[in-house]
Amino acid sequence: MKKASAMTIKYTAISLAILFAFPGLRVSAQTKPDNASATQAVAVPARVTQAIDETQLVTLKGNVHPLARPEFDKGPVPSSQPMKRMMLLLQRSPEQQAALQQLMLEQQSKDSPNFHKWLVPQQFGVQFGPADADIQTVTDWLARQGFQVARVANGRTVIEFSGNAAQVQSAFHTEIHKFVVNGETRSANVSDPQIPAALAPVVKGIVSLHNFPRRTFRHDAGIHKVTRDEHGVPQFTSTTGCGLNNASQCFFVGPADFAKIYNVPASLDGTGVTIGIVGDSNIDPNDAIGFRNVFGLTPATAPTIIVDGPDPGLSGPIGDEGEGDLDVQISGMVAPKATIDFVVAEGTLTALGTDIAAFHIIDYNLADVMSESFGSCEPGLGTMGVQFYNSVWEEAAAQGITVMVSAGDNGSASCDNFQTQAVAVNGLAVNGIASTPFNVAVGGTDFDEVGVQSTFCGAQAKIARSSPQGMAAKQVQQGSNASYWPRRMDPTPPRPESNRRVPPRHCDFIDHWACLMPNLSAQKVGGRWVSNPVTPITDRVHSPMCYGHHQTCAGRARSDSN
């Protein structure tokens, strides 16, 4: 359901806003398919062909969270403990998957009649989802286990259902236990779930049976109070917050700075474009309005808030209000006339709010481009979590939605604990949400202006080079290989020792962004997650890139009108 309140958007959305800031791009790029394409010429055959035998089971391996360990285990949760908004991930047949890949190639081929004919979710479901009979079989089985089936997704990718811990144990043959890790209480399954073998041709698995959260990659570096003064005088400059031990001066980047540095034309303002931002905490719309007023951005309006399910309120389960503030404000800074939809969902004991919000944007086809600044390493996502994001990001590409995801900081070390770990101790890993072939994994760079910031940022500064791509000191790679997706599916150069893809795929400026927080205080933020919202504009203006399976350019589907 939608709430018309306005809200701030994530930094990741900034990249998205920039990508689609050119007027009229969505209108010209998203050609509506003919009505005939919404129905299949040949009926989809049923794949559940055997009677369901509860004694014949298959195990869904790789779906125990790495922190659900015996030393943290506090025993089973009560049998009556509600397990809400679980998502059963459905899968395509090999023939459907091959047809989808072919369609995505044709959507990017100018010689094809399917060029830029993006699907809507209902069409995607009819063409590439399970047969009606299979959907009925699966929902009937869930009902017999005592679950309440909430809905089948428009794209037939997911079935949402709810129940309790006893029903989960009976149906999926795993107990749900309570765990206390670093003082935080979580719930999780203690063994890999199982499903009847007869359902395996259609059911890939359960997206999540735990509530270990996806983490924001935001880095805060203090608060700076500011009042708007005369134009031309640098105001967003602090005496501390940067450098060694945060003891050096900071020079913040605001809307005018960004436009100057990246040579953003005045016409690149986001008119006619919708940006979707993923969140798990609500925000105060006055922060977004205040930000736009301070920097003279028009119109001084806040984004639309869309709440999927119960409103999580401000700060969310892990204090992510600041993440939403930053993403909304930065994306609106880059594309001030874009429509920004901040989609927020509350997490449950067995479902993550960010998963629900991200899927909402795709299943209701809300945006031209979407941004997610949260992450979880592939082991933390589990096999089904990784497959979930691969499946829904692929659907997004077929619908013409560009998906931007922060690669995260610190490489494999961030998969241990990105806030504290400097050296990886638990092996190689990457952000699984950003690791699929169908999204743009966004990394970061920084300016090579150390010690001469006054000449770079002052009133007399002259920018001799055309963009930060010529000014960056380095591109910091997330130093790990993805575990699930081979190099052949990705244009990114491989690591010498591996044939696996290496996120990130694009880098932009990541540090010293100014953002407005409650009581109109300016906060300096940094980290790769910040560059995510600015990536699309640099791609569009300076160096267009192709992303996605077999060079289908799935990463910028609606961004081009030719």
| The total number of structural domains that make up the chain | 1
* Secondary structure (DSSP) of 374-413: EE-BHHHHHHHHHHHHHHHHHHHHHTT-EEEEE--SSTTH
β 339-345/402-406 pair status: unpaired
What is the reported pLDDT for 410?
A: 53
Instruction: Look at residue 236 and tell me if it is in a domain.
Output: no
- Token couple for 276: 């979707």
pLDDT digits (tens, 9 = 90+) for 136-160: 999 999 999 999 999 999 999 999 9
pLDDT digits (tens, 9 = 90+) for 524-560: 444 443 445 444 433 433 332 323 222 333 443 444 4
Write the CB contacts of 271 (distance below 8 Å, at least 6 apart in sequence). Answer: 21, 23, 24, 337, 338
- Token couple for 491: 């244009």
Strand positions, DSSP E, 482-557 = 506-509, 513-517, 521-526
What is the reported pLDDT for 46?
A: 95
What is the reported pLDDT for 34?
A: 39
How many CB atoms sit inside 10 A of residue 286's CB?
Answer: 16
Furthest C-alpha separation in the chain: 77
- What is the edge-to-edge ordering of all strands in the sheet holding 82-90? 148-152, 158-164, 82-90, 203-206
Q: Is 69 helix (H, G, I), strand (E, B) or coil?
A: coil
What is the reported pLDDT for 554?
A: 41
Q: Is the Cβ–Cβ distance between 243 and 546 less than 8 Å?
A: no
Instruction: Look at residue 562 and tell me if it is in a domain.
Output: no
How many angstroms separate the CA atoms of 321 and 132, rounded? Answer: 40
What is the reported pLDDT for 502?
A: 47
Instruction: Look at residue 114 and tell me if it is in a domain.
Output: yes
Structural domain for 63, as ranges? 38-206
Is the full-model pTM beyond 0.85?
A: no
Task: Tell me which residues of the chain have a pLDDT lower than 70.
Answer: 1-42, 217-238, 241-243, 250-251, 316-318, 408-428, 444-562
Instruction: Look at residue 47 and tell me if it is in a domain.
Output: yes
- Token couple for 337: 């006339």
What is the reported pLDDT for 305?
A: 96
What is the reported pLDDT for 298?
A: 86
Instruction: Look at residue 22 and tell me if it is in a domain.
Output: no
Write the CB contacts of 217 (distance below 8 Å, at least 6 apart in sequence). Answer: 373, 374, 375, 406, 408, 409, 414, 418, 527, 528, 529
Q: How far is CA 524 from the centre of its chain?
A: 22
Query: Side chain identity at 482, as an amino acid letter?
Result: A
Instruction: Look at residue 193 and tell me if it is in a domain.
Output: yes
What is the reported pLDDT for 23?
A: 37
Instruction: Look at residue 184 and tell me if it is in a domain.
Output: yes
What is the reported pLDDT for 306?
A: 97
- From residue 517, give the alpha-carbon distance in Å to each of 220, 238, 321, 322, 372: 12, 16, 9, 7, 20
Instruction: Look at residue 383 and tell me if it is in a domain.
Output: no
